[in-house]
Structure 1
Amino acid sequence: MDSPSEMLPPPPVLPSNFLPQKAAPLIKRLPMARRGFGSRGQNIPLLTNHFNVSISKTDGYFYHYSVSMKYEDDSPVDAKGIGRKIMDKLYQTYKAELDGKHLAYDGEKSLFTVGPLPQNKNVGSGSPDGVDRKRSKRQPRTKTYKVAINYAAKIPMQSIANALRGQDSEHFQEAVRVLDIVLRQHAAQQGCLLVRQAFFHNEPRNFVDLGGGVVGCRGFHSSFRATQGGLSLNMDVSTTMIVKPGPVVDFLLMNQKVDNPGQIDWNKAKRTLKNLRIKATNSNMEHKISGLSDRICREQMFSLKQRREGGEAQDLEITVYDYFVHNRNIQLRFSGDFPCINVGKPKRPTYIPIELCSLVSLQRYTKALSNLQRASLVEKSRQKPHERMTALNQALRKSNYGEDPLLGSTGISINNEFTQIQGRVLPAPKLKVGGGEDLFPRNGRWNFNNKRLVEPIELERWAIVNFSARCNMQKIGDDLVRCGKMKGIFIKPPFAMFEENGQLRRNSAPMRVEEMIRIVKERLPGPPQLLLCILPERKNCDIYGPWKRRNLSDLGIVTQCIAPTQRINDQYLTNLGGINSFLTIERNSSIPLVSKVPTLIIGMDVSHGSPGRSDVPSIAAVVSSRQWPSISRYRAAVRTQSPKMEMIDSLFKKVSDTEDQGIFRELLEDFYISSQHRKPDHIIIFRDGVSESQFNQVLNVELEQIIKACKMRDESWSPKFTMVVAQKNHHTKFFQANSPDNVPPGTVIDNGICHPRNNDFYMCAHAGMIGTTRPTHYQVLYDEIGFSPDDLQELVHSLSYVYQRSTTAISVVAPVCYAHLAAAQMSQFMKFDELSDRSSSHSGGGGVTVPELPRLHDRVSSSMFFC
C-alpha cells in the first residue's frame, strides 16, 4: 500500500503507480489507488455477508510471542493438534503468573496478547489431560512438556484505523491476522475442525454423503476485512470433505466399492487409512493409524509379558486374535481373516482387530474427488440466497463472538445485521448475428432459434469415429447436417464413419487411439477439416487425452469430442470454426480505448495438479485476442512449469541477443500477423488465480517479463498496459434487499465493502440460475491506458458475453475462462506419471526437470481448440 506522500503524482515520464527505489535504478510497481467510482447503470439496494465491526480501542499494542514446546528430553513436540491442549493446561496452571492475560494461540509457534506479558521466564510442565495417551491404560503416567514463551514483536492497534482511512499501514495485515487467530481459537474451543479460516462443527445435520466413504461437511468461513465502510467480519457458508465416521470396515467397503471384506484391496487400504484417527471400542481410547499388520489377525504374533507364580516375568508369543478372544474375552466375528490396525510405532507396533476400530468424526479427506463425488458435492451444497442468509444469521448467533473475553479485550464488537450497500445493474450489450441481425440478451441469456451464426464455416471434408459407444452414427451425422443448415453452416454428409473393433476395448488408450488413427489415414484421401469423436464413456475417459494430443499436436486436425448420445443439438456446432456472434460495439468499433487503438487482450491462468500430487507439473496458459478490432477471437499458448508454482515463468525466455522463445513473443507475432501488421499500442491483461499476497509478484515479475518481450521485439516500442486480477476464490456474496432471488446479471459494486484504497470492484455478469451467485472480484493493479471506472467496468461486462461455448453471459471475462480451458485440455495431452519418450524437458525453478508439452501443429495453433 502507498503512503499519502507516495500517492502524489510522480514525474510525467513514469506511469502513475510506478515508485522509484532509492537504492537502485529498478522501478517497483505497487497496486494502484482507486481513481473514482462508476455511475452508469440502474441503482439497486443490496445486502452483503459483511458484518460491521466497531473498534473502541486503538491506542494499544498486540504483543507477539514465539512459542517453543519440548518433551522432557528436549526433543521438539511434533505431534499435530496437541499444542492447544498443552497451552490450555499451561494457562490453567500459570494463570496468576501470566497476570490473567488472555492468550491467542495459533496452534503452532505464535502467541498473541493485548499488552505485554510479565517479564519473568515461564517454563511449564505437565500433561494436557494428566495422562499420556500412548501408554497403557493400566499404568497411567503423566508426560512432561517444557514450554518457552519469548517476545518477538509488537503490533500497533492503530494500524487498523490507519488502513481504514486509506493510509499506508505496514502492520495492518499482522493486526488483522491476530484477530483472525482469535476467531480460530474461539472455534477450536467449541470443538470445531479448523481448515484455514473455516470452522466445522461435529453436527450430523451438517453432513451430506458423497459416496465412497466421503462426506461433505458444511461449516462457515469467518475473517476480518478492511472496507470503505470500516472493518467488517466476512462470514460465508463453506464446505470441506471429511472421512465418513464409523466402523473402519464399513468405510473401506464404501471407499473401494466392494460388497464384503474379502474383496478389499489391503495395500490400497493401508495407504488410505494411514494417519487417520480411530477409537478402539474395547478401551474407548483414540489412536492414530500408522499402518496395517503384515499378517492376518489369526497369524499376527506379538510378545505378551506374563508373570509366573514366583513373580518372574516372561514373554509369551501369542496371536492378536487369541489375545483378544481368550485373554480379553472379546468375541471377534470376522477380524481373524484380515489384517489388524497398527496404532504403534515402526519398532513397537500395537495391533487392534479391525472390527474394534471406528473412525472418529471431523477428519479431513484430502484426496481428489471423483467426477461423481464432485457433482454430488456441487448439487448438495447449493443454497438459494434466502437459505444462505438464514444459515449465516444462525452461524453468527451460534458463534457468540460477543462473549469471547479476548475479542472483548481488543475493544471489538460485531454487528449482527447484514451490511446494506448500493449496487448498479449495467444493461446487457447487444449482439450481432448472421445477416446483420440484432440479438438482445435477456436475464444474461439468449438463443439462436431462427438465427444464423455471424461467420459460419463450410464443412466439406469431415468424418466420425466411434470408440465403442452405443449410438447411431448415421443419425448423429444427419443431425449435424440438419442443425448446420438451420444456422447457415454448409455441412456435407460425413465422408466416412469409423467404428472401433470391440475386441480392442481391452487395450490401453494410446493403443486404441493409434489403431483408429491408422484406419482413418488408410480410408481418407487427405487430412479432414474435422474429426467428430464419440467417446466410450461420459466421465473420466482415458481416450480423450491421447486422442486430442495426436490430432492437435501431430496431425493438425481439429477434433470435437462428444459423450455417447443419440442425437446432436445446436451446442455441438460451436466448435466447428467461425464465430457465433459479435458484440454490436465490437462490430461498430465503439469500445472506448480499445476500438480506436490497436489493443491486445490477454487472459492468464495456471492450473495445478490434484491435491496430494506434488510431482505433477503445473500448466501455464495464456490466451490472446487476434484480428483486432475483434475482441471475440482468441488463441492460446501453453507451457509446463514447476509443480505448484503460481507465477508464470515462461512469458519471456531470452536464448540469445536476438531470440526470445517465451509465450508472449508467440502471441505478439500472431496479433501482428492477424491485425494488418500492426503492433498493439494497448495491452490489457486479465490474470486469474492469484491472491492479494501475490499482487506485487504479478506486477514486478510477470508484467516485467511481458515488457521485456515487447522490448525484445522492438526497442523503440512502448505499449501502455492495464493489468487486472480476476478472483473467484473469495467469500463475498450479495443479496437483493427486497427479493429472495439472486442479484440480476450485470450487477456491479465498487463502494461500501470494496477496499478503502485499492482500485477494485465486484461484478455479477451472469444470471445465477441455481444456488447463490458468486461474484467475480476484479482488482485493477495497474492502468497506464487510463480507463475511467465506468469504461473498464463496461469492458469487463462485455467480455462476459463473447464466450463462444455458451449462449449465456459467464461469471468471469472470456479470456480468463479460455485460459483455464486451454490449461485443462493441454494437461490431458500426456499422463505425467507415464511420460512419453518423445517428450523433451526443461529445467524449472530450483533446477527441477519439468517435462514439456508437445507443441500444437501449425494448422491448429491459431484456432480456438480449447472451446
Structure 2
Amino acid sequence: MNKPRSPHNPERPGYGTQGREVLLYANYFELKSVGKGLYRYHLDIEGGGPRKSPTGKKAKQIVHLLLEEHFPELKTHIVTDYKSTMISHRKVLDEENEPVAFDVRYRDEYSDEYPERPEVYRVVCKFTGRLDPAHLLNYLTSSDAAAMFDSKADVLQALNIAVGHHPKSDTSIISTASNKHYPMVGGLVEKFNLGAGLEALRGYFVSVRAATARILVNVQVKYMACYQDGPLRQVIGEFQHSGSLDPHSLGKFLLKMKVRVTHIERKNKKGEMIPRIKTIRGLATPRDGQSLANPPKVSRIGAGPREVQFFLEAPGQPSSQQSGSASSQGKKGKKPAKAGPKPSGSYITVADFFQRYNVSVDPSMPVVNVGDKENPSYLPVEVCMVEPGQPAKAKLTPNQTQQMLRFAVRTPAQNAMSIVTQGTETLGIGDSANPTLVDFGIQHNPSLITVPGRVLSAPNVCYKDGKSNQKQITPIGGSWNMKSIRFSTSTKLSNWTWILIAPRKGRQHFENPNDLDDCLQKFTAKLNEVGVMAAAPKQGRRIVYNRDTYEMDINTTISDLLRVEGKSKLELILTILPFKDTELYNCIKQACDIRHGIRNVNVLGERFRNCADQYFANVGLKFNLKLGGINQLLRPTELGIIGENKTMLVGIDVTHPSPGSADNAPSVAGMVASIDSFLGQWPAEIRIQTKARNEMVEDLDSMLKSHLHRWASHHKGAFPENIIVYRDGVSEGQYDLVVENELPRLKDACKALYPASMTAKALPKFSIMIVGKRHHTRFFPTGDQDADRSSNPVNGTVVDRGITEARNWDFYLQAHTALKGTARPAHYFTIWDEIFVKIKPSSLPRGQTTADLLESMTHHMCYLFGRATKAVSICPPAYYADLVCTRARCYLSNVFDPVTPSGSVSAGSGPVSLFESSQVRIHPNVKDTMFYI
C-alpha cells in the first residue's frame, strides 16, 4: 500500500512534457570531484570580561590569527567562514569530545608585529561532526524518492565555505555576507562612475547547489554601489557638484563612511604603511559635546575648519594631540562646570590645530566628526582618504540608477563570458590551481553546464471587437497591441475631472488652456474607443507647483473638487504632473487613496500633451482597472482548475526598510486576491508589521477574511473550495516558516467564515508556491534558433530539470521577453499542496502531467497582467502584491525615504512603535478597487 503523500514539501509529480524542446546553457559549473570526508568545527570567540564578542572585520582577523598562530602547518588544509565555522579534510583536534580553547593575541590586519600589551581573545574550538560530500552525491543520485539524508544542508554549507574561502582570504577582494565578491585591485577590477560620489563595482556571486545526481557551483555577475575611494575632499566635491548643497543631505551621505587618516604615519617592520581607519559619524554641529565641561564651539551644521573650535588642554595634561584629531577634552557631565579652578588650556580652531601637521585646509569644506555626538573628534577633509569597497548606505538617485543600468545591462553572451573568465579567476575556481581546493579534492568542470528546457505555447488573449463580440489575439514574442479592439469588460465613467500641476518657471506643457481642452477631448475619445464609456471631464483645477506648499495645495484642491460635485460623487481625478518627482507622486497617492478616497491616475504633462494614440491607450488600461473593468481574458480551458470558478488566487509580499530608511521604518505586508475565475480584478489589503524586517506576515487571518468576503459577494455567498497562494519575497531558509507560521493563520481565517458543510469536507484546500525573483540562475541559448532578438531564450521557456532536484517540485519560467540585458526567469517552488495532488491523471488532457498543469497555468497567467499588453516576468498574484507593497512605501515615504535626517537613518530590525495600520488604511471609497495599479 502506498504511503499517503505529505502536502508539506510535496514530491515532484513527474516532469513537464509540453512545449518545444530546447537546450540551454545555465550559469552553473559541475563539480567533477566533491572531495574527501570533512571535519567540522564550531568557533566561539569570547569577548572576555565586559567586552562584547567581536564581529565583522575584527572577528575575521581573530580567526585569521588563530590559523596563523595555532595551525600554521595546515594553511591549505583548513577553510573557514571567518565567523563561527572551520572545515578541514584532516583531523585538527586530538580531542573530539571536549572543546579546546586557544588564546589569540590580537594585532590589526596591517601590522606585522604585536603591540607590547596585545589584547588576548579566547577562541573555543569544538568538533561538531564529520561530513562526507560523497554521501550527499549518493543521495542525489538515488532513485528512491523516500530516501533521507539529514546532513544535506550541513554538507552544502561546508562545500560553500570551501569554495568561498579563496575570495574571502584575498585582501584585494571585497566580500559581502551574501557570498558576493568584488575585485578591488589588478586587472580584474571593473568599476563605473555613478556620479555624486558613488561608483559601481562588478563582482561575482558564488554558491554550491544540489541538483539531481550532481553537485553544482552557481556563479552570477553582481553589482554593488559603493562610495568612490580616494580623497574625501574629492568625494564631497562630486556629491555637491550633483546639486546637493544641503549640509543635512551631506551628513546623511557621509554617515558611517570609513576613512583612512593621512596626517600621522605609522609603519610596520617591512616599511609598509599601517592605516589608521576612522568612521565618520556626521558633520560638526552646534549640538556636539554639550555634556562636556568644555564643549566645542560650532557656528552651524557643516561648519568649516575655521568655524569649529575645540578645547585643547595645556601641555602636561591628557591631550588630543595623542590621537592626532581635534577632540574636545573635559569631563562628561549633565551641565558644563560652573565652579572650580580655571581650566588649564584654551580653545583652538580645527584649522589652527592641523597647521601643526603642515595641513592646509579649505575653509569652505566641512569638518567631519569621527567621534560621536557626546565626545566629538574633528578632522578636516584634507587628511581623510575614503576606504575602497564600502557599500553605499543611501538609496540611489534616478540619475545614479540610470548610470548603474548603463553599467549593468549587458547581453547574455557578455555575462556568460564574464562568468567563465573573470568570474572563475576572482573566485579561485579558474584554470590556475587553487591549492586549497586541490588539497580538499574539489574539482569542477570549466564549462557552463547545459540543461534541457521547453518553450510553452502562448495562449490566445481575448478582447472585444467594435461590435462587442469576443475577439482573440495571438501574441507574437509575448506581446500584442490593442488596435481595433476594446476591453473585455467595459466600464462607465460619468463624473471625472483633472488637476494640472504646472511648473513655477520654465517650459509650460499647456500654456494655452485650449491646448489642454483639446488634449482632454482626444483622450476622452480614446477612452470610449477602447471600452471606457467616459463623459467629458468636468472643469478641473490648475496648481502652480511650490515645493514648500504643494502638499497643502493638493489636498485643498481635491477637497474643493469633491465639495463642488457634492452628491453627484466624483469618480476619478486625472493628475497631470509637471515632471517626475517621487515626493510629489507620493503626496498625491496618499491624498487620494488614504485621505480623500478618490480614484486617481497620474500622467506626465510632457507625454500627455503629445496625444499619442498608444500612450492614451496605455493610460486607458489603468482607467478601466481602477473602475472595476477587466482588460483582457483567457479562455477557461487555458487556466486549468481556475476556470471552474471554485479557486481563489492569492498573492502575498512584504516590503522592508532599505538603506537610507529611518530607524523606526516598519515592514509592510500586502495581499491581493482574485474575486472570480476571470482574474481581471485584484483588490488589496495592507498591514504594518509590528516588528521591522519580519518576513512572516502577522495579520494574515484578517487580510484573508476581507478577500473571502469579496469573493463571496461575487458568488452568491459561496466561498472558494481551493486557495492557491503565490508567496513572494521568501528566501530558501524561510520556506518552512511559511508553512509553520502563515498557513495556520490562513486556515484560521477560513475556519472562522466557512460553513460547517465545507469544513466537514476539509475545505478549502490550499497550495502554496514561493515565487523567487532575486535568485542567481540565468539561462543562455546554445543556438540562434532558440534565441530572441536580445539573444535571450525565447519567452515561454520553462526549465524543471538539470539544475533542480527530483524530490522538490520547482521550476524556472521565463514568461516575458527582455527588451535588453540578460533575462531573469522566475523561480516557482511548491512548499504545500492539497489541490494538485487530488487531480486524477485521467482528467488531464492527453499527454499532460500534473507538472504540466501547474507550469502552463502559471505561464498563461502571465498574459493577464492588466496594466500591459505583453506577458510579464512573474505571475499576476505575485506582481500585484509587489505593487501593493510599493504603494505602501509611498504612504510611509517620510520614514522609508526621509528627505532630511531625524537621527540616524539605518534600516532597523527592532519593534515598531510609532506606526499604526491607519497610516496605510485605504479609504472605504476605494478599498475594493485596484487603487495601487
TM-score tier by shorter-chain length is: 0.7 to 0.9
Is the contact made by 1:132 and 1:143 (CA closer than 8 Å) also made in structure 2? no
Residue 297 (structure 1) aligns with: 305
Residue 555 of structure 1: how far off its partner (Å): 4.0
Selected match of 2:682 from 634, 656, 659: 634
**What secondary structure, in the 3-state scheme, does the structure 1 residue paired with 2:724 have?**
strand
Measured against aligned partners, the alpha-carbon deviations of 1:512-533 in whole angstroms (never above 9, x if no partner) come to: 2221023313433532222101
Residue 480 (structure 1) aligns with: 523
Matched, 1:471 2:509: yes
Selected match of 1:361 from 382, 385, 388: 388
Residue 781 of structure 1: how far off its partner (Å): 1.4
Is the contact made by 2:55 and 2:83 (CA closer than 8 Å) also made in structure 1? no
* Greater Cα offset, 569-578 or 118-127: 118-127
Q: Does the C-alpha gap of structure 1 residues 118 and 453 become closer, same or farther in structure 2, counting only changes over 3 Å? A: closer
Q: Does the C-alpha gap of structure 1 residues 350 and 618 become closer, same or farther in structure 2, counting only changes over 3 Å? A: closer
Residue 413 (structure 1) aligns with: 443
Measured against aligned partners, the alpha-carbon deviations of 1:162-221 in whole angstroms (never above 9, x if no partner) come to: 552464323221222222223333112322111121000115951122222111111000
Residue 270 (structure 2) aligns with: none
Selected match of 2:829 from 767, 774, 779: 779
Residue 440 (structure 1) aligns with: 474
Residue 280 (structure 1) aligns with: 262
Q: Aligned partner of 1:687: which letter?
A: R
Alignment of 1:569-580 (within 5 A): 569=615, 570-577=617-624, 579=629
Q: Does the C-alpha gap of structure 1 residues 355 and 559 become closer, same or farther in structure 2, counting only changes over 3 Å? A: same
Is the contact made by 2:630 and 2:680 (CA closer than 8 Å) also made in structure 1? no
Residue 305 of structure 1: how far off its partner (Å): 5.0
Structure 2: give runs of 5+ residues left out of the alignment: 95-99, 266-272, 285-295, 299-303, 318-343, 511-515, 840-849, 898-908
Partners in 1 of 2:458 and 2:174 — Cα distance?
Answer: 43
Matched, 1:125 2:105: yes
**What secondary structure, in the 3-state scheme, does the structure 2 residue paired with 1:495 have?**
coil
Residue 866 (structure 1) aligns with: 932
Q: Aligned partner of 2:537: which letter?
A: P
Q: Does the C-alpha gap of structure 1 residues 339 and 572 become closer, same or farther in structure 2, counting only changes over 3 Å? A: closer
Selected match of 2:173 from 178, 192, 205: 192
Partners in 1 of 2:75 and 2:669 — Cα distance?
Answer: 52
Q: Does the C-alpha gap of structure 1 residues 259 and 641 become closer, same or farther in structure 2, counting only changes over 3 Å? A: closer
Measured against aligned partners, the alpha-carbon deviations of 1:581-623 in whole angstroms (never above 9, x if no partner) come to: 434423xx56322222511111111112222534222221111
Partners in 1 of 2:130 and 2:887 — Cα distance?
Answer: 47
Matched, 1:64 2:41: yes
Q: Does the C-alpha gap of structure 1 residues 507 and 623 become closer, same or farther in structure 2, counting only changes over 3 Å? A: same
Partners in 2 of 1:861 and 1:170 — Cα distance?
Answer: 47
Q: Does the C-alpha gap of structure 1 residues 721 and 80 become closer, same or farther in structure 2, counting only changes over 3 Å? A: closer
Q: Aligned partner of 1:641: which letter?
A: Q
Q: Does the C-alpha gap of structure 1 residues 699 and 89 become closer, same or farther in structure 2, counting only changes over 3 Å? A: closer
Q: Does the C-alpha gap of structure 1 residues 163 and 199 become closer, same or farther in structure 2, counting only changes over 3 Å? A: farther
Partners in 2 of 1:549 and 1:144 — Cα distance?
Answer: 55
Matched, 1:613 2:588: no
Q: Aligned partner of 2:230: which letter?
A: G
Residue 399 of structure 1: how far off its partner (Å): 3.2
Measured against aligned partners, the alpha-carbon deviations of 1:319-344 in whole angstroms (never above 9, x if no partner) come to: 5534543x44x25152x565544556
Matched, 1:451 2:451: no
Measured against aligned partners, the alpha-carbon deviations of 1:532-585 in whole angstroms (never above 9, x if no partner) come to: 01234313133x334334433454422111223323421110122254643442
Q: Aligned partner of 1:85: which letter?
A: Q
Q: How many residues align?
A: 803
Q: Aligned partner of 1:457: which letter?
A: T
Is the contact made by 2:814 and 2:826 (CA closer than 8 Å) also made in structure 1? yes
Residue 833 of structure 1: how far off its partner (Å): 4.8
Matched, 1:102 2:91: no
Matched, 1:520 2:561: yes
**What secondary structure, in the 3-state scheme, does the structure 1 residue paired with 2:767 have?**
strand
Residue 422 (structure 1) aligns with: 452
Selected match of 1:177 from 157, 160, 173: 157
Q: Aligned partner of 1:477: which letter?
A: L
Is the contact made by 2:183 and 2:426 (CA closer than 8 Å) also made in structure 1? no
Partners in 2 of 1:591 and 1:164 — Cα distance?
Answer: 33
Measured against aligned partners, the alpha-carbon deviations of 1:350-373 in whole angstroms (never above 9, x if no partner) come to: 654321222121111122222332
Matched, 1:693 2:733: yes
**What secondary structure, in the 3-state scheme, does the structure 2 residue paired with 1:173 have?**
helix
Partners in 2 of 1:150 and 1:770 — Cα distance?
Answer: 50
Residue 21 (structure 2) aligns with: 43
**What secondary structure, in the 3-state scheme, does the structure 1 residue paired with 2:668 have?**
strand
Identity %: 22
Structure 1: give runs of 5+ residues left out of the alignment: 1-7, 19-29, 308-314, 653-661, 836-843
Q: Does the C-alpha gap of structure 1 residues 847 and 576 become closer, same or farther in structure 2, counting only changes over 3 Å? A: closer
Partners in 2 of 1:341 and 1:631 — Cα distance?
Answer: 56
Residue 673 (structure 2) aligns with: 624
Matched, 1:32 2:10: yes
**What secondary structure, in the 3-state scheme, does the structure 2 residue paired with 1:807 have?**
coil
Is the contact made by 1:551 and 1:559 (CA closer than 8 Å) also made in structure 2? yes
Is the contact made by 1:106 and 1:181 (CA closer than 8 Å) also made in structure 2? yes
**What secondary structure, in the 3-state scheme, does the structure 1 residue paired with 2:739 have?**
helix
Is the contact made by 1:431 and 1:439 (CA closer than 8 Å) also made in structure 2? yes
Residue 749 (structure 1) aligns with: 799
Residue 849 of structure 1: how far off its partner (Å): 6.3
Is the contact made by 1:746 and 1:764 (CA closer than 8 Å) also made in structure 2? yes
Partners in 2 of 1:488 and 1:347 — Cα distance?
Answer: 65
Residue 749 of structure 1: how far off its partner (Å): 0.5
TM-score using structure 2 length: 0.80
Partners in 2 of 1:862 and 1:802 — Cα distance?
Answer: 19
**What secondary structure, in the 3-state scheme, does the structure 2 residue paired with 1:437 have?**
strand
**What secondary structure, in the 3-state scheme, does the structure 2 residue paired with 1:777 have?**
strand
Q: Aligned partner of 1:720: which letter?
A: K
Partners in 1 of 2:540 and 2:804 — Cα distance?
Answer: 56
Is the contact made by 2:351 and 2:361 (CA closer than 8 Å) also made in structure 1? no
Matched, 1:505 2:546: yes
Selected match of 2:231 from 247, 261, 264: 247
**What secondary structure, in the 3-state scheme, does the structure 2 residue paired with 1:772 have?**
coil
**What secondary structure, in the 3-state scheme, does the structure 1 residue paired with 2:635 have?**
helix
Is the contact made by 1:155 and 1:171 (CA closer than 8 Å) also made in structure 2? no
Q: Does the C-alpha gap of structure 1 residues 305 and 232 become closer, same or farther in structure 2, counting only changes over 3 Å? A: farther
**What secondary structure, in the 3-state scheme, does the structure 2 residue paired with 1:742 have?**
coil
Measured against aligned partners, the alpha-carbon deviations of 1:73-94 in whole angstroms (never above 9, x if no partner) come to: 8845637413333443443333
Matched, 1:852 2:879: no
Selected match of 1:595 from 640, 643, 656: 643
Is the contact made by 2:664 and 2:914 (CA closer than 8 Å) also made in structure 1? no
Residue 698 of structure 1: how far off its partner (Å): 1.1
Is the contact made by 1:132 and 1:141 (CA closer than 8 Å) also made in structure 2? no
Partners in 1 of 2:896 and 2:211 — Cα distance?
Answer: 49
Partners in 2 of 1:677 and 1:202 — Cα distance?
Answer: 63
Residue 852 of structure 1: how far off its partner (Å): 0.9
Partners in 2 of 1:171 and 1:363 — Cα distance?
Answer: 36
* Greater Cα offset, 99-108 or 638-647: 99-108
RMSD over aligned Cα, in angstroms?
Answer: 3.2
Measured against aligned partners, the alpha-carbon deviations of 1:242-261 in whole angstroms (never above 9, x if no partner) come to: 1011221221233344679x
Matched, 1:232 2:216: yes
Partners in 1 of 2:589 and 2:670 — Cα distance?
Answer: 17
Partners in 2 of 1:490 and 1:131 — Cα distance?
Answer: 76
**What secondary structure, in the 3-state scheme, does the structure 2 residue paired with 1:828 have?**
helix
Q: Does the C-alpha gap of structure 1 residues 54 and 613 become closer, same or farther in structure 2, counting only changes over 3 Å? A: farther
Residue 413 of structure 1: how far off its partner (Å): 0.7
Residue 641 of structure 1: how far off its partner (Å): 1.2
Residue 583 (structure 2) aligns with: 541
Residue 649 of structure 1: how far off its partner (Å): 1.2
Residue 419 (structure 2) aligns with: 392
Alignment of 1:256-267 (within 5 A): 256-257=240-241, 265=247
Partners in 2 of 1:132 and 1:255 — Cα distance?
Answer: 37
